[in-house]
Amino acid sequence: MQLDIQAIQAALRADRLDGWLLYDFNGSNPIAKRLAGLSGKKILASRRWYYLIPATGQPRGLVHAIERHTLDELPGEKFIYLERETLEKQLKILLGSCRHVAMEYSPECAIPYISRVDAGTIELLRRLGINISSSGDLVQRFEASWDAKMLTQHQAASERLYRIKDRTFETIRNAIRDGHEPTEYEIQQQMVSWFKEEGLISDSAPVVATQEHSASPHYMPSATSSRAICRDQVVLLDLWGKLDEPGAVFADITWVGYVGAQPPSEVCQAFEAIRLARDEAVSTVQSAVRKGRDLRGWEIDQITSRAIDRAGYGNRILHRTGHSLGEEVHGNGAHLDNYETRDERRILPGTGFTIEPGIYFESFGVRTEINMYVSENDATVTGPLQTTVTALAE
């Protein structure tokens, strides 16, 4: 990721901030690492480093003497520190006249994805007279946004995930027809092999969950804990992956099937509730973007939760509506969340996210997950939308 220093400085001035102070210790701040261009590089960075982008003037960095080349690819002067006394002295020089800076900090950890800088570092800077604000909006604009190549990579990953989903449902359908009851784990491992075949990588195997297991949103089958997929059962697939290429971003989808010709009414009604909630969220995002109206992550979550509540399932919600997509499946941009947190960040052009309302009962759960991308003047769903529960048997 190439830092756009001039654009960042313009944003800092607009927000009346003196600078953006990037900080990392031994990989503790992946946002700072990515912005500094250190992610994925074979570089030893086991000491604290700082990189200040001031609202005006040249950026500058602070690195330890044994890792003096850590920030060499970034513009600006680099200061060197040795022992802890030198660190504090050089930190004062680095900051110069800056008194109000943004960092990866979230008051009271309101947004954990942004809360990357440790409390001790915050205390040190405050003792030096520095006022610290959250960099959440800056991260949304400069770290979580996609360029044209990343969008193309996402779309390619999405197409491959849908192919794997289709193959998975067909495998289950054929097995049931032939009198075989595959386990969740067997199906999951087949999907893992298709990921390799499709050139996709992920941080996890996909979720394959049937009946009461589908009521646990992050259930994961294993070789020692897995149940057979039988007739008259709900089957939920949740799969996410990205191309095995530098800078690629994730796609993430969830689909619901039923091992039978006709799902029972309670399953159909539950799915219809989340489908309507999902579609209302999509329409809201598209309308706001087309009209140039600001829309914040928490607002979209509120729309879906109210729609689900109107359908009588409000007490069956267990999680937020969606999350940012990036180089990690849960990216650092605005999340669609007014439930677990309240994400006040705006939905900005160049960003992607999931919409995935779900409702969960004791015996089964349903969730529909799609991905959206926001451009300057529009918002698009990047794959097919499930409209009914997929029948997996005659």
Please give the full DSSP string across 43-95, using - where no structure is assigned. ----S-EEEEEESSS--EEEEEGGGTTTTTTSSSEEEEE-SHHHHHHHHHHHH
Give tens-digit pLDDT for 31-45.
999 999 998 777 778
DSSP string, 330-380: S-SS--B-SSSS----B--TTEEEEE--EEE-SS-EEE-BEEEEE-SS-EE
pLDDT above 90: percentage of residues in the chain: 96
Amino acid at 65: A
CA distance 205 to 223: 12
3-state DSSP call for residue 241?
strand
φ, ψ of residue 24 in degrees (nearest 5):
-150, 145
User: Residues 238-291: pLDDT tens digits?
Assistant: 999 999 999 999 999 999 999 999 999 999 999 999 999 999 999 999 999 999
Q: Does 201 score more than 80 pLDDT?
A: yes
220-235 average pLDDT score: 96
Q: Which domains does the chain have, with CATH numbers?
A: 5-142 (3.40.350.10), 148-391 (3.90.230.10)
Q: Taking Cα atoms as reference points, which of 178, 338, 163 lies closest to residue 253?
A: 163
The Cα-based distances of 329 to 42, 302, 386 in angstroms read 22, 22, 21
Task: Please list, in sequence order, all residues whose beta carbon lies within 8 angstroms of the beta carbon of residue 146, skipping any fewer than 6 positions away.
Answer: 154, 249, 350, 351, 352, 373
Name the band, by pLDDT with cuts 50, 70 and 90, for residue 75: very high
With vertex at residue 227, the alpha carbon angle to CA 221 and CA 230, rounded to the nearest 5 degrees, is 130
Amino acid at 259: V
- Cα separation, 63 vs 130, in Å, equals 20
Q: Which pLDDT does position 50 carry in this prediction?
A: 98
Contact 372, 352 (CB under 8 A): yes
Helix (H, G, I), strand (E, B) or coil at 320: coil
**7-27 mean pLDDT:** 97
- CA dist 36 and 2 (Å) reads 8
pLDDT of residue 43: 77
Q: For 206, which DSSP code?
A: P
